[in-house]
């Protein structure tokens, strides 16, 4: 009888319940690699307007986020996301974090909340875009958070997929994983084609607006 193990909760359990309810009828079609990336205009958490068209000449990283998602937390708690944001910034890359979960859903944030999160997590994106109608996520066919995209200086989509190669919510897996985005960024900046340009993204299901069916 000693063999019964005590029911144990996972680390995240008590604290986090993630609402991941996109109710929109959503055709998950993502843009093709090697083609011009879908253009978008959005306002960031500081009220500044960003347009992808204006960023021609610069390499851009897109990161979909939901701060309550265990998979997003994995990469922020492990300081992986912040480290890559800083590296990118140092190389002149524009890193845009986009809070694309719909208003009313978990993971949706006000500009103030977004700024608080950036401060408390010591994050360093170029901007946090507030996308309460999931326009950016939809344009890019994002299915999860974090879903990562790289757009080269000519505005061409050159990477889409996961942040790294081990789909888990365990921080300890980060050092063991291939950091797909970091590798791809280095290749893009070196003017080389991206070897692994499309990988399996993992994370929490994107929550699209319920009303926009």
Partner 1 sequence: MLRFLALLLAALIAVPAFAQSVVQTDNVRAELVSDVATVKPGEPFWVGLHQTIRPKWHTYWKNPGESGLPTEITWTLPAGAKADAIVWPTPALFDIGGITNYGFKDEAMLLVRITPPADLTGPLKIAAEANWLVCEDVCIPEEGKFELTLASGAAATPAPPAVRTLFEAARRRVPMESPWPARYGVAKSGDPTLIIEAKGLKADTIRDVYFFPAEWGAVATMAKQTASVTAEGIRIPLRKGEAKTAMPERLAGTLVLTEKTADGTVKQAFDVSAKLDPAFVPAPVSLAGAASGEPLSLVQALLFALLGGLILNLMPCVFPVLAMKAAAFARLAGQGQSEMRRDGLAYTAGVLASFAAMAAIVVSIRASVGDVAWGFQFQSPVFSLLIAYLFFTVGLNLSGVFDVGGRLAGVGQGLVARGGTTGAFFTGVLAVIVATPCTAPFMAAALGFALSQPAPATVAVLLAMGLGLALPYLALSFTPALQRLMPRPGAWMDRLRQFLAFPMYASAVWMIWVLTQQTGSDGVLYALGGMILIAFAVWLLRLGGGASLGTWLRRGLAAAAVLLAFAATLKLEDGPATAASASGGQTSGVNFEGWERFSRARMAEAVAAGQPVFVDFTAAWCITCLVNERVALETPATKKAFEQAGVVKLKGDWTNRDDEITGVLKEVGRAGVPLYLFWAPGAAAPKILPQVLTEAMILSELSSIQQTKR
Only segment of 76-84, 115-123, 124-132, 163-171 that touches partner 1 (CB under 8 A): 163-171
Only segment of 16-24, 36-44, 56-64, 114-122 that touches partner 1 (CB under 8 A): 16-24
Q: Does 107 bind partner 1 (CB under 8 A)?
A: no
Alpha helix (H) residue ranges in 37-179: 70-77, 80-90, 111-121, 135-140
Six token digits for residue 4 = 């019964």
Q: Does 53 bind partner 1 (CB under 8 A)?
A: no
Burial class (CB in 10 A: 0-12, 13-18, 19+), 12: middle
Binding to partner 1 (CB under 8 A) within 141-160 occurs at 143-144, 160
Cis omega (within 30 of 0) on the bond before 146? yes
Place of tokens 């909340």: 113
Contact pick of 50, 76, 95, 208 for partner 1 (by CB under 8 A): 208
Query: By C-beta, is 44 or 147 nearer to partner 1?
Result: 147
Q: What is the DSSP string of 62-99?
A: EEE--TT-HHHHHHHHTTHHHHHHHHHHHTT-EEEEEE
Residues that bind partner 1 (CB under 8 A): 1-5, 7-10, 12-13, 16-28, 30, 33, 70, 106, 143-144, 160-161, 167-169, 196-198, 200, 202-208, 210
């Amino acid at each position: 009888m000693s063999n019964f193990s005590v029911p144990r909760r996972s680390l995240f359990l008590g604290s986090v319940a993630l609402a991941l309810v996109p109710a929109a009828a959503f055709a998950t079609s993502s843009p093709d690699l090697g083609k011009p990336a879908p253009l978008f205009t959005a306002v960031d958490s500081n009220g500044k307007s960003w347009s992808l068209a204006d960023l021609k000449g610069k390499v851009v990283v897109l990161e979909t986020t939901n701060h309550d998602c265990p998979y997003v937390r994995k990469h922020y708690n492990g300081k992986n996301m912040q480290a890559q944001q800083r590296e990118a910034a140092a190389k002149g890359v524009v890193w845009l974090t986009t809070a694309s979960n719909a208003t009313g859903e978990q993971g949706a944030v006000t500009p103030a909340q977004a700024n608080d999160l950036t401060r408390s997590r010591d994050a360093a994106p170029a901007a946090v875009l507030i996308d309460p109608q999931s326009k950016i996520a939809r344009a890019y066919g994002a299915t999860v958070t974090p879903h990562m995209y790289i757009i080269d200086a000519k505005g061409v989509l050159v990477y889409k997929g996961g942040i790294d190669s081990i789909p888990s919510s365990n921080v300890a897996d980060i050092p063991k994983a291939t950091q797909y985005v970091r590798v791809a960024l280095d290749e893009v900046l070196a003017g080389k084609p991206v070897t692994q340009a499309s990988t399996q993204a993992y994370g929490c299901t994107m929550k699209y607006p319920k009303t926009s069916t």
